[in-house]
Amino acid sequence: MAIKAKITLGLPDHPRCRALIDGKVGIEGYDLDICHDFVSSGERHYRFLQGEWDVGECSAATLLRAVEKKQPFRAIPVFFERGPRQRNIFYCEGKLTHPAELKGKKFGSLRYGATAAVWARGYLLDAYDIKTTDMEWFVSGREVFIGNELPVKVERIDPPPPFGQEKLQLSKLLSEGVLHGAIVPGDFGYLGMFGGGSTAPMMAKYPGVKPLIDDTDEIIRYTKKTGINPIIHVIALTQAIVDKHPDLPAKLTRAFREARAAAAPYMEADEIAGNAKERELLGEDPYAYVLGENEKRTWAALNRYQIEQGLLKTMLPLQELFVGHV
């Protein structure tokens, strides 16, 4: 019997990859050693970028910056998390009445370079002409990877809380008036589009804290107008594992597609219904794991936003990032 090559992976405990985690889907010629027990996605991304695994889920914005800085990472078009980020912008009721009032205010985020923060700032710029430089920035979590000098001063909230506790810290500071706004990730996919997620109730633990933009009709209108469906997380590989096993990226992409097709038994009924509603609105499956026209347009927007926000310097060709897509 041929010896299988061992591949280490850091993955979310997500219905669309549960069949891989449970061993119901495999990759011929490879032995998959999967870690999937994490406090938060931030912890998972941080550990992958620190070199713990060959393959891992990673923040899309962070990965773009890493590749521009010639860090040894590549990606395959597997996106577990997508969706509008408007509902991720929080404020304290009574302290603001309109997004335009954020100019000149103190704004918080888990990480300045977090993908959700990049998308939310891009929305504020396009919809309300609010530039990154119009606000003072404060971060409560660890910066995973910045890479360039920023056009704004970013101050750290001390002491930084443990992974998984950053959101509640931001909620408390909003309620106390220390911050005027904050970007808090969560509620991906159909929950970001249609509402009903868990992030707003969790943030409401402190009095008055709620989403600043919570209008489903406006979110749908903006999505249809721009043709952009934000990509939040992507599956990345180290360049070393790609060089060692050139067939792995394509095989891995196919395996994730198989796991996605086998996801229904791991999903609740409302999640299945929400995904179907999302597909109907978009006119395509946002989790087909391909580089279609929407994905290309979305990646270009994420790249452009990061240039505008001082996180990137250039537009990166997709071939510098993605490998082995089929």
Please list the pLDDT of the chain residue by residue as tens digits (326 residues). 578 899 999 998 899 999 999 999 999 999 999 998 876 777 888 889 889 999 999 999 999 999 999 999 999 999 989 999 999 999 999 888 888 899 999 999 988 888 999 999 999 999 999 999 999 999 886 654 454 567 788 888 877 777 778 888 999 999 999 999 999 988 989 999 999 999 999 999 999 999 999 999 999 999 999 999 999 999 999 999 999 999 999 999 999 999 999 999 999 999 999 999 999 999 999 999 999 999 999 999 999 999 999 899 999 999 889 997 64
CATH of domain 86-226: 3.40.190.10
Its sign, for the CA torsion 15, 64, 105, 149, is positive
pTM for this entry: 0.92
Q: Given this model, what pLDDT does residue 262 score?
A: 97
Nearest to 106 by CA among 167, 53, 157, 160: 157
Cβ count within 10 A of residue 216: 14
- Sheet strands (E) in the chain: 5-10, 30-35, 55-59, 73-76, 89-92, 106-109, 136-139, 154-156, 181-183, 209-211, 233-238
Residue 326 CA to residue 316 CA, distance in Å, equals 20
Residues with Cβ within 8 Å of 202's Cβ and at least 6 positions away in sequence, in order, are: 167, 168, 171, 186
Instruction: Output the CA torsion 137→139→142→146 (10° steps).
Output: -10
Residue 278 CA to residue 285 CA, distance in Å, equals 8
5 close to 252: Cβ distance less than 8 angstroms: no
Q: Given this model, what pLDDT does residue 139 score?
A: 87
Cis bond before residue 15 (omega within 30° of 0): no
Residue 54 CA to residue 62 CA, distance in Å, equals 17
Residue with tokens 């249809």: 224
Half-sphere exposure of 92 (CA within 13 A, CB side): 19
C-alpha 9 chain-centroid distance: 18
Burial 289-313 (b: 16+ CB within 10 A, else e): bbeeebbeebbebbbebbebbbbbe
Q: Describe the strand order of the beta sheet including 106-109 as a list of residue ranges.
A: 154-156, 136-139, 106-109, 181-183, 89-92, 209-211
Residues with Cβ within 8 Å of 235's Cβ and at least 6 positions away in sequence, in order, are: 55, 56, 57, 58, 75, 76, 78, 79, 80, 252, 256
Q: Return the structure tokens found at 32.
A: 């998959």
Same topology, domains 5-82+230-320 and 86-226? Answer is yes
CA 63 to each of CA 2, 58, 76, 112, 156: distance values in angstroms, whole numbers, following the listed order: 34, 7, 12, 14, 22
Q: Does domain 5-82+230-320 have CATH number 3.40.190.10?
A: yes
Q: What is the DSSP letter of 140?
A: -
Cβ count within 10 A of residue 86: 24
Backbone angles phi and psi of 242, in degrees to 5: -65, -45
Parse the chain into domains and list their residue ranges.
5-82+230-320, 86-226
